[in-house]
Structures are given as structure tokens and as C-alpha cells.
Amino acid sequence: MKTALVCGAGGFIGGHLVKRLKSEGYWIRAVDLKLHEFSTSPADEFIIGDLRNQAFCNEIYNQNFNRVYQLAADMGGAGYIFTGDNDADVMYNSAMINLNILNLAKVHGADAIFYSSSACIYPEHNQLDSENPNCAEDSAYPANPDSEYGWEKLFSERLYLNFSKNFNLNVKIARFHNIFGPEGVWMGGKEKAPAALCRKVAQAVDGSEIEIWGDGNQTRSFLIVDECIDGIQKLMNSDFPGPVNIGSEEMISINQLAKLIVQISGKNLSIRNINGPVGVRGRNSDNTLIFQKLNWQPKSKLRDGIEQTYRWILRQVEKKEKPSV
């Protein structure tokens, strides 16, 4: 039986990945600091522990796996990574996890090891124009990410690439661009823009207003999580190592995204732009390389994914507001 180790399986993308691997017939050892908050994991084993701890890592990565997926990281949306308050934790925690996992990959190996990097590694100077950001893979250097989160991702990409070079590991690296969807964090400070906006709209009283951080003209693209998993698996099944973007090229401003969600909700809401952490002016996935190497591109439209996500978040909001007796 094919085996997989999924680190970060209690998180958003890891949770969806476990479900996909199960449907593909894998025996799965899932690992995280916590259980998945929104669904019961179908993993064969779910081990709770801290991947910063090498002794714990020795216990969970104690054999050869067909696949290792390293998604665990200390991360969150703009409210978490752009305030500066969490920078030391973000860098230390995620770097420790990656160092520990690679150290064991050297010993036990794997047919393929996946590392989840981020669009946040791209240089700030190429993302100043909201209409024409450049996020082609080869634009990553000279490096100038706009967050410490991005610097850690870039450092860890290099770690994976050098372990691949020196210890003959089959490493695969993807740079995710704003993955969203049901069963992701939607409140509490770590949520990202699509979930935060869906929550604000779901909670808003008809006829009121919602607050949007920044002037709202900053642009991004968003990819529904199922399509992200397709991209991960295509990369893992290929002989291409990356780093490669996994994202959508359907760029939209944050105010437009908010208007789309308001439209889906059927409510009459106005938008008020306020000061807040925003990140780069513009960012969009460039899918030239992934299409060329893996023949992959997103199949669905942003609106479809947002609709699905809004309905899910609306249900969470309703559950919270009207707890069952």
C-alpha cells in the first residue's frame, strides 16, 4: 500500500490533501499541533505534536514513506504576517519544522517530498503596480520579499533544494497564491482576505457597511483549494521539481472581491475603506511555467469558489450565533 506523511494535516490545505490522498488509496500518517477544526480527518493515524521538536519528529518520520508533504507553518493572513508582531515566531517556528523534516528525509528518504512555499517570496519591487505585477518564477531573485514570512519561505526553498542536491532527495516545491475555500480559518486573526470578507458580509446586517483594509485597489488572485490539490498532485506525479506557481491568473482588486461577495449574499451593503495591513499593491499568479511543464491550469472561475466558500462561512456564522440547545 502507498504511504504518505502529511505534516500540517490539521490545517486548511493539509486537511483537504488528506481527503484526496485517502481517495487515491494512500495509508496516511497525519501530524499537526491540533486536530482539524472543521472535519474529522480520514487519516489512518493522526498524531498530535510539535514539529519544532526533533525528538517528536524522530517518532513520526521513522520509516520510508512514498510521499512526504510538508505543509506545517506558522502563518496567517495580512493581520498576522504584516503587523510585525509575529515575525520572530513565524521565522523560527517554520524554519525549525523544515530543518527537522529534512534532517529525517536524509535518513529515511521518500519517493517524493513536497514543500509548500508561497507567492510571498516574490520581490516587493515587482509588485508595486496593481495592474502589472510580475510573479514569474524566475523573478524571485534578486530577492526582496515584503514580509519575514516570505524570507523564511525563500530560505526554506533553498534548504529543500540543497538537500535535494547534496543528499539526492526528490524534492518538489510549489509557490501557492492565496488558496481559499471551505474548512479554512475564518475568524480569530489568522484568516485571509476571502474568508475575512465572507465573514464580514455574512455577519453584516442588510443595509449596513463593511470595512475593508487599505484603499481596496490592491489586487490579488485566489485559487480554490480543490484546484490547488490537483496542482500539488500533478507536480508530485511529474519529474519536474519546481519551484512553480500554483495559483489563479484571474486577478481582482480587494474592493471588487468584496463587491462580488456582497452580490452573492444578496444583501445591500456598502464598503468603507480603512487603514490596515495590506501587503504589496498587486499580485497575480503567472501560470506559464506550470502550464508548460505540467499542463495544469485552474478549471473553475473565482465566482464559483467564492460562492461555495461564502455558503460555508455563512453556515459557520449562523452556528456560532445560534448555538444548538
In the bound state with ligand NAD, the residue whose beta carbon lies nearer, of 74 and 227, is 74
In the bound state with ligand NAD, the residue whose beta carbon lies nearer, of 30 and 204, is 30
* Contacts (CB under 6 A) with ligand NAD, residues 44-83: 50-52, 71-75
- Block residue for cell numbers 534548504: 159
User: What is the Cα 243 distance to its own chain's centre?
Assistant: 15
Mark residues 103-132: x for contact with ligand NAD by CB under 6 A, - for none: -------------x-x--------------
Q: Does 97 bind ligand NAD (CB under 6 A)?
A: yes
Q: How many residues bind ligand NAD (CB under 6 A)?
A: 26
Q: Does 232 bind ligand NAD (CB under 6 A)?
A: no
216 and 252 in contact (C-beta within 8 Å)? Answer: no
Provide Rg for the chain, Cα atoms: 19
Beta bridge partners of 4: 28, 67
Beta strands in the chain (DSSP E): 3-7, 27-32, 45-48, 65-70, 110-118, 171-176, 179-180, 209-213, 219-220, 223-224, 244-246, 252-253, 270-274
Tell me the closest approach of the beta carbon of residue 209 to ligand NAD, in angstroms.
27
Taking CB atoms, the residue at the shortest distance from ligand NAD is 11
HSE toward the beta carbon, residue 3, CA cutoff 13 A: 13
User: What is the Cα 222 distance to its own chain's centre?
Assistant: 10
**Part of the chain binding ligand NAD (CB under 6 A), chosen from 3-11, 154-162, 207-215, 317-325:** 3-11
Nearest residue to 279 (alpha-carbon basis) of 13, 141, 80: 80
Member of 4, 5, 6, 13 binding ligand NAD (CB under 6 A): 13
In the bound state with ligand NAD, the residue whose beta carbon lies nearer, of 32 and 253, is 32
Member of 5, 14, 127, 157 binding ligand NAD (CB under 6 A): 14
In the bound state with ligand NAD, the residue whose beta carbon lies nearer, of 77 and 214, is 77
Q: Does 33 bind ligand NAD (CB under 6 A)?
A: yes
Member of 8, 133, 145, 181 binding ligand NAD (CB under 6 A): 8
Q: Does 11 bind ligand NAD (CB under 6 A)?
A: yes
Nearest residue to 75 (alpha-carbon basis) of 114, 40, 119: 119
DSSP character for 175?
E
In the bound state with ligand NAD, the residue whose beta carbon lies nearer, of 14 and 298, is 14
Tell me the closest approach of the beta carbon of residue 269 to ligand NAD, in angstroms.
25
The CA distance from 1 to 6, in Å, is 16
In the bound state with ligand NAD, the residue whose beta carbon lies nearer, of 77 and 204, is 77
Q: Does 305 bind ligand NAD (CB under 6 A)?
A: no
Nearest residue to 199 (alpha-carbon basis) of 306, 325, 302, 281: 306
Tell me the closest approach of the beta carbon of residue 48 to ligand NAD, in angstroms.
8
**Part of the chain binding ligand NAD (CB under 6 A), chosen from 8-16, 58-66, 105-113, 131-139:** 8-16
Give every CB contact of residue 251 below 8 A, 6+ residues apart in sequence.
133, 219, 220, 221, 282, 284
Nearest residue to 253 (alpha-carbon basis) of 231, 280, 277: 280
Member of 28, 32, 224, 261 binding ligand NAD (CB under 6 A): 32
Backbone angles phi, psi at 150, to 5 degrees: -65, -40
Q: Which residues are catalytic?
A: 149
Q: Could you list the residues that contact ligand NAD (CB under 6 A)?
A: 8, 10-14, 32-34, 50-52, 71-75, 93, 97, 116, 118, 176, 178-179, 185, 192
